[in-house]
Chain A
């Protein structure tokens, strides 16, 4: 039996509302950037809709409708919230965490890459924006857990192929990969790992305690 985590698993779990926040953020970013993913996700939501029709209804408290009607009395036209000017490069799901654009973030230099750790989610996850410089690679590494990456700008190549804007890349513990950014520009990604990565290349192994890529 194939026990590998697939994108469909993630879409199903996400439609069911089960994903932890950091993983949900990656999947939402993927959805924001890929119409094809949205179509598949819509089908997963349709499954939720079908099951909602099937579920054994639970009677509402007495007076629930009257309570709702009182709420409606207070409703006026949906107030349009003034949307602050945001960097249009920032996909919608990331705007809360990146309110002033990618360039305003406190990037930390890691040599071939830069990173910003995003403050979200339960402990045990590492949620980062990574900027890999054009044509550069990060040290070869594997993961103790899964690493989910969605490409926001540019592209990179690893053992699984070439990935561009909107692509979701799932690396499980068996994948040893060494992403190389496309030569024509920096590659910006959102990445979540659910366990610290292990560097496996000859130099990486030495750097491991120092450089947590």
Chain B
């Protein structure tokens, strides 16, 4: 636990509150370039969602389904849903997207984050529905708004751009571990066995990858 480290260029957002870096570094300029490279695809998806919201545009919705449907399914399969359950839940996710398209705010989250959040919530919802006495359609109040409020928005945008970039630039192995961590919900020991690595190695590499992302978020520990 450190309380001593002052803000420095290498860790622009250390500390409990996420602070805006003071000076533009080379990495940030690069990041901006990178973001503008990503923009067309994201812009197209934002536009499609807006079309769905405003005019119930089926073609736009189909484009979103074709891009995200197989990804949502892969996410659900990796987390243990069988083929049929993954198909059914993917359908539910997209009915939700159809219903809620008007609630999407591009200033607050990327389309992929928004879709991820809905898929995550649907999955948790279905797990609990299986276990409890809740009836069909008795949706749990799981709405976690992916959007921070007010002043946090600008910082959040910077932060999520940094995260997107950070994920892209992680070494392949760490990226794979992160994906396993996020999407496979396996005990670390199973991951280790599958990768043929000692358990300690998996734990420390996973910590390393998360640590890098944490540094970008501004470490929470004081």
User: Which residues of A does B touch, CB under 8 Å?
Assistant: 1-2, 6-8, 12, 15-18, 21, 24, 28, 31, 35-36, 38-61, 64-65, 67-69, 71-72, 75, 78, 92-93, 95-96
* Cα A41 to Cα B18 with chains together (Å): 12
Contact A49 B182 (CB under 8 A): no
Quick one: which of A17, A42, A75 contacts B124, CB cutoff 8 A?
A: A17
Verify A60–B87 contact, CB threshold 8 A.
Answer: yes
**Smallest CB–CB gap between A69 and chain B, Å?**
7
A52-B72 in contact (CB<8A): yes
Chain A residues closer than 8 Å to B18, beta-carbon distance: 39-40
Minimum CB distance partner of B76 in chain A: A58
Tell me if B62 is interfacial: C-beta within 8 Å of chain A: yes
Q: Per-residue 0/1 for B138-164: is the Cβ within 8 Å of any A Cβ (1 yes, 0 no)?
A: 001101111111101001100110011
Seen from chain B, the residues whose Cβ lies within 8 Å of a Cβ on chain A are 1, 16-18, 58, 61-62, 65-66, 68-75, 77-79, 83, 86-87, 90-91, 94-95, 98-100, 108-110, 112-117, 119-120, 123-124, 128, 140-141, 143-150, 152, 155-156, 159-160, 163-164, 167-168, 175, 178-179, 181-183, 185, 204, 207, 210, 213-214, 217, 219-221
Q: Which secondary structure dominates where chain B touches chain A?
A: helix
**Cα–Cα, bound, A173→B61 (Å):** 50
Contact, CB under 8 Å: A49 / B116:
yes
B217 pairs with A51, CB closer than 8 A: no
**CB–CB A15/B220 < 8 A:** no
Q: Tell whether A55 pairs with B179 under 8 Å between CB atoms, given A64-B69, A71-B91, A95-B141.
A: yes
CA distance A47 to B181 in the complex (A): 12
- 4 shortest A-B CB distances, which residue pairs? A49-B113, A57-B70, A39-B148, A46-B160
Decide yes or no: A49 and B70 within 8 Å by CB, A43-B156, A75-B99, A95-B141 being known contacts. Answer: no
Tell me if A47 and B110 are in contact (CB < 8 A): no
Chain B residues with Cβ under 8 A from A71's Cβ?
91, 95
Instruction: Check B160 against A40 for contact (C-beta < 8 Å).
Output: no
Of listed A1, A38, A52, A75, residue having the most chain B CB within 10 A: A52
Chain A residues within 8 Å of B91, by CB? 64, 67-68, 71
**B73, B110, B210, B220: the one within 8 Å of A46 (CB):** B110
Give the shortest distance, in Å, between A180 (CB) and chain B (any CB).
22
9 contacts between A and B (CB under 8 A): A6-B221, A8-B219, A17-B120, A31-B144, A42-B146, A45-B113, A45-B144, A52-B75, A52-B119
Whether the Cβ atoms of A72 and B95 lie closer than 8 Å is: yes
B148 and A55 contact, CB distance less than 8 A: no
Identify which of A43, A49, A56, A57 contacts B217 (C-beta below 8 A). Answer: A43
Q: How far is the CB of A111 from chain B (nearest CB, A)?
A: 33
Known: A21-B128, A39-B18, A39-B156. A12 touches B114 (CB 8 A): no
A68-B114 CB under 8 A given contacts A40-B18, A57-B74: no
Q: Are A38 and B145 in contact (CB under 8 A)?
A: yes
Contact B214 A8 (CB under 8 A): yes
* Chain B residues, Cβ within 8 Å of A2: 1, 221
